[in-house]
Every structure is written in C-alpha cells, then in structure tokens.
Amino acid sequence: MKKFTLLLIFSFFISTGVVFAQSPEEIYRKANINYENEDYEKAVSLYEMLLKIDRVGPEVFYNLGNSYFKLKKIGRAIVNYRRALRLAPGDRDISHNLKLARAMTVDKIERPEKGFLVKALLLPYDSMNIDQLTIFVSMAYLCIVTLLIVSIFFAARRRGLFYAVGTLAAILIVFFIFLASKIRAKNSKEAVVVVDSVDARSGPKEDYLLQFTLHEGSEIRIVEDAQDWREIDLSKDLRGWIPKDSVEAI
C-alpha cells in the first residue's frame, strides 16, 4: 500500500512539476520560440512562469510586454515595459514600445515634455538604474576620501587636490540626489489599469458617487488600500476608489 501511495505522489509531482526541472534559460528559450511562432498566449505563460522562479533581467519584462502588446492587452504591456525600463532606463527599444503602447490608450494623460537643456542635465538620471547610480556614488566617495588622504602627504599640491575634491563633491551631491530620487520612485506605489474600463468612486463601495471612469492602460498612483479597494490619484485634484483587481502594480 505504501509503495502504491508513493508512486501516486511521485506521478503527481512529475505531471505538475515537470517544468521546474527545466532551467530558467530553457524556459526563456521556449518562451522566445513561442513568441516567434506567434503563440503569444503560450509565450506569456512561460515568461510569467520565469518571473516566479528566477530573478530576471529587463529583457524578460520587455518580451513579456511585447507578448501582451500582440494580444492587445495594452495595460499589461505598459506594466511590463515600465518594469523593464526601471531596470534598463536607457534602452531605446523599451522606451519606443512604451510610447507606442501609451498611444493606444483611451485616456490621453498629458505628460510634460522636457526641453533640450533639461534632457541634457537629466541624462545620467534617465540612462542609469539604481545599481549603476549606487556604484557611481560609491566610487566618487572613495575618490574624495583618497584625494583627501593624498593631500596630507603632498602639501605642495594640496590646493589643486582641494579643487578636485570640491568638484567631485559637487558631482557626488548631484548623483546622490539622482539615486535618492530613483529609490523613491521605485518605492512609490504606481500602477496601471489592466481591465477594459473601471469606475472610480468617492469611497470604497459600489454605491458611492461615481467620480470618473478610467480605461485600460491608464497609469495611476496608489494612495492607500482598503480591503478589496484602492484609492488612486491622477493628480492632486483627481482622486477616487477603484476595485483592487482592476490595476496591476508596477
């Protein structure tokens, strides 16, 4: 009887857990093959599976976004493009596809355009992720400490070394602000509407007053949760409550 029970258990794990015997690389390869063969539903299931069993890079989120885009699920496409862009902020392909997905949304939310000068000043912020900024800030700090130590032994060059330290300190402060801003943005509760449409109400129940209606792909900020509802805002003056399952956090 024990042998029979063990055989049933073993058969169950073989039938339901066979995919976990595959390496993440193998799952990723199969997902890409399904995408190339235009089996986007299967590609989505494999990419989603990969997210659950392994820490993935931006290319997985990007490919998952592309798969959802092909399935015309714009909301989930935007979610995954933004996740990919968070890991690879300077990637032009991700930015381009995110722009295409946003163009297909019903609710056209105005995003202020950056001028040339602002773009140039914010280039490091826009092109570096948190890990890269952390490394840069750490290296700049070590350079400052090293130069200060060196200045103790080279009094003749102390003035020039102090100028270098001052310049590095100014750069360090700017990049530290960039890093803090990136971390704050990562920890902020942003989400995207992933259903066709959802009514935002004045409170966390269906019988509250209708405030406005959002459509798939709208990008919002989560203010707070209350059971099965979320309070969201589009701006300081535009807030409402929507069902929790109508949005997906980035």
Q: Tens digit of pLDDT per residue, the chain (250 long)?
A: 444 444 444 444 444 444 445 788 899 999 999 999 999 999 999 999 999 887 788 999 999 999 999 999 999 999 999 999 998 988 999 999 999 999 999 987 666 566 667 667 777 877 888 888 999 999 999 999 988 888 888 877 778 888 888 899 999 999 999 888 888 777 668 899 999 999 999 999 999 999 999 999 999 999 888 889 999 988 767 899 999 999 999 8
Q: Where are the alpha helices (DSSP H) in 88-157?
A: 92-103, 116-121, 123-127, 130-153
Q: What CATH architecture is 190-249?
A: Roll (2.30)
Domain boundaries, the chain: 2-103, 116-187, 190-249
**Total Cβ atoms within 10 A of residue 135:** 11
Q: What is the DSSP letter of 89?
A: T
The CATH code of domain 2-103 reads 1.25.40.10
Nearest to 185 by CA among 133, 108, 245: 133
Amino acid 151: pLDDT: 83
Q: Which pTM value belongs to this model?
A: 0.72
| DSSP label of 156 | G
